[in-house]
Structure 1
Amino acid sequence: MNQKVILVLLDGLNYEVARHALGHLQAYCSAGRAALYKLECELPALSRPLYECILTGVPPIESGIVHNNVSRLSTQRSVFHYAAEAGRTTAAAAYHWVSELYNRSPFNAARDRHTEAPDLPIQHGHFYYADHYPDSHLFADAESLRVRHSPDFLLVHPMNIDDAGHKHGLNTPQYRNSARVADILLAEYLQRWLGAGYQVLVTADHGMNDDRTHNGLLPEEREVPLFVLGSAFSLDATAQPRQVELCGTICELLGIPHDKPICRELLL
């Protein structure tokens, strides 16, 4: 397809909260310009294993990234690898675990926080390492990368929703309001991203429970949203995408060779 793609990974966002709290994204759905799907995240419902799953299409028990303390480079092929090898430009504004998975491990803030490295899978990066790093700053980091480098694939990965969930739990104003703030921040950028021709996917790694954590089988821990926006998407209400299909579907949008599963129904 040869499209440009932005993947927004709203860490820790439960599907039901996304469905009722993300008013700007839902306005696109109501206008027939976006679609919302429910995904069930792979197990375990933990962040680092699911970053790897989303970006490589490989479930945690196969990737070996089975908990958050597995700190090493991935042994799998990610969207970043495929894109860079195809001569496309990659960028990420993301938590430092993403840098550890695909660029260099362990993360060294002085070296890795601001990355300009054409020889690495993530060529341009701003990586943070505090869970309370403001989402407003993270989106500004991402937009700076987009404006400066016009990447073909850009990962945008804020953490404040997950941070609020761990501090306060699922059924709290703090958690729901953190989702609303993310939606307002997205409203600042979505129109210009779409206007620049990007295909945009907005999803989450896992959800959250009332115990202020996630790692089990409860629907509120495993059910996450997938919003898709852009001219290359079918908006087919019957599509049933899976988390392991996101990597391959993004590669299809980029028009680059890959060997990952895809959700064909998402695409025109």
Structure 2
Amino acid sequence: MSSDTRIAASTWIESSRPKYWSFIFSFLLLPFSLFAQAPDIKHVIVIGVDGMSPDGIQKANTPTLDSILKVAAYSFKCQAVLPTSSSPNWASMIMGAGPDKHGVTSNSWQPHKQTIELECEGTKRNGKPSGMWPTIFGELRRQKPESNIACFNDWLAFNRLFEKGVVNRQRDANLLQAASHHGYKGITKKAVNYFKKKKPDFMFVHLDNVDHAGHHDGHGTQAYYDAVGVADQMIAKIVKAVQESGVAEKTVILITADHGGIGHGHGGDTPEEVNVPWILTGPSVVNGELQVPVETYDTAATLAYLLGIKAPDCWQGKAIVQAVAQ
């Protein structure tokens, strides 16, 4: 990563420090009902790093994440859902509920083969069951139709986890370099270029290189930590793009993962597989380790809060409002 990228990332991170420290403690005591929407936030970015564990961040060379953590609201004990497979957890993250509600219970799930009855308003299309639980993508499109929404994913199967036709721009690694397991580079480049050009209201970026290393070389190996370091470089490029776009003071970034891992796999209920990082940074974000439990399905509700839309009543997740000062 170039020195310019590090400098730009550092500048944006420093500019996002909360200004009203005396307000933090009283804020934590206020009920959620007082907050209809977050402060003046216009752009929200999620960077989801497949298979990245807290251990990976703590032991890898991650200068960007290390700098972000100094000014972020974070938890290293965000709880993934079971099984700790990719589809159930990415789905829970964007659907605001667990697999028992949205029905995505394995990586073989398909909307047209939904096996449970979805008890949520908005799960029908043209009067017929759609097989799709409402996602943050669809809700933002429904409630704010003019929003610019983008998704850049390094895993083709991610495409089936949200409603068709709700994003303005979508690219997956199969259109880039997936065959060589370097799709994350193309995905990051596409995301950076799109953000600079369009400044989307909501952008989701999925990186898969860390999960590849976990399966191929093993979690906790040097190769795995090296992959986390590479993901850190991709994060730096996105942070730099935000800074160069002139909207850093109105942009919040959430960095998280679908699961951790143990040995060469994941899917079980060990702490190494279940605990994932959840890191929120940007203007008005309260600095420090979160003292409230965080579930992966809280992500969708938090994103709805940041984007100023209402979370569907059927979502189980809660907005982590303790992470944001007013």
If the length of structure 1 is used for normalisation, what is the TM-score?
0.87
Tell me whether 1-10 or 153-162 shows the greater mean CA deviation: 1-10
What is aligned with 1:116? none
What is aligned with 1:110? none
Identity %: 24
What is aligned with 2:166? 121
Query: Is 2:129 the counterpart of 1:70?
Result: no
**Once the 2 structures are TM-superposed, how far is the Cα of residue 55 of structure 1 from its aligned partner?**
0.4
State the one-letter code of the partner of 2:166.
P
Structure 2 vs 1, CA of residues 43 and 214 (structure 1 numbering), >3 Å: closer, same or farther?
same
**Once the 2 structures are TM-superposed, how far is the Cα of residue 160 of structure 1 from its aligned partner?**
0.5
What is aligned with 2:298? 245
Q: Separation in 1 of the partners of 2:288 and 2:67?
A: 17
**Once the 2 structures are TM-superposed, how far is the Cα of residue 236 of structure 1 from its aligned partner?**
4.6
**Once the 2 structures are TM-superposed, how far is the Cα of residue 103 of structure 1 from its aligned partner?**
4.1
1:185-239 deviation digits (Å, cap 9, x = unpaired): 21223144255231000000001111x1100011111111111110132235324
Query: Is 2:87 the counterpart of 1:28?
Result: no
State the one-letter code of the partner of 1:222.
V
**Once the 2 structures are TM-superposed, how far is the Cα of residue 263 of structure 1 from its aligned partner?**
1.6
**Once the 2 structures are TM-superposed, how far is the Cα of residue 245 of structure 1 from its aligned partner?**
0.7
- Tell me, what secondary structure is at the counterpart of 2:297? helix
Moved >3 Å (runs of 4+) = none
* Among 82, 91, 94, the residue aligned to 2:150: 91
Would the aligned equivalents of 1:232 and 1:253 in 2 still touch at CA under 8 Å?
no
Would the aligned equivalents of 2:53 and 2:261 in 1 still touch at CA under 8 Å?
yes
**Once the 2 structures are TM-superposed, how far is the Cα of residue 133 of structure 1 from its aligned partner?**
3.5
Would the aligned equivalents of 1:57 and 1:246 in 2 still touch at CA under 8 Å?
yes
Query: Is 2:161 the counterpart of 1:101?
Result: yes
Q: Separation in 2 of the partners of 1:102 and 1:133?
A: 24
State the one-letter code of the partner of 1:245.
D
Q: Separation in 1 of the partners of 2:276 and 2:299?
A: 13
Q: Separation in 2 of the partners of 1:202 and 1:54?
A: 12
- Tell me, what secondary structure is at the counterpart of 1:18? helix
Structure 2: stretches of 5+ with no match in the other structure: 1-37, 113-130
Q: Separation in 1 of the partners of 2:42 and 2:75?
A: 21
Structure 2 vs 1, CA of residues 6 and 128 (structure 1 numbering), >3 Å: closer, same or farther?
same
* Among 187, 191, 200, the residue aligned to 2:253: 200
**Once the 2 structures are TM-superposed, how far is the Cα of residue 168 of structure 1 from its aligned partner?**
0.8
Q: Separation in 2 of the partners of 1:191 and 1:100?
A: 30
Query: Is 2:207 the counterpart of 1:158?
Result: yes
- Tell me, what secondary structure is at the counterpart of 1:8? strand
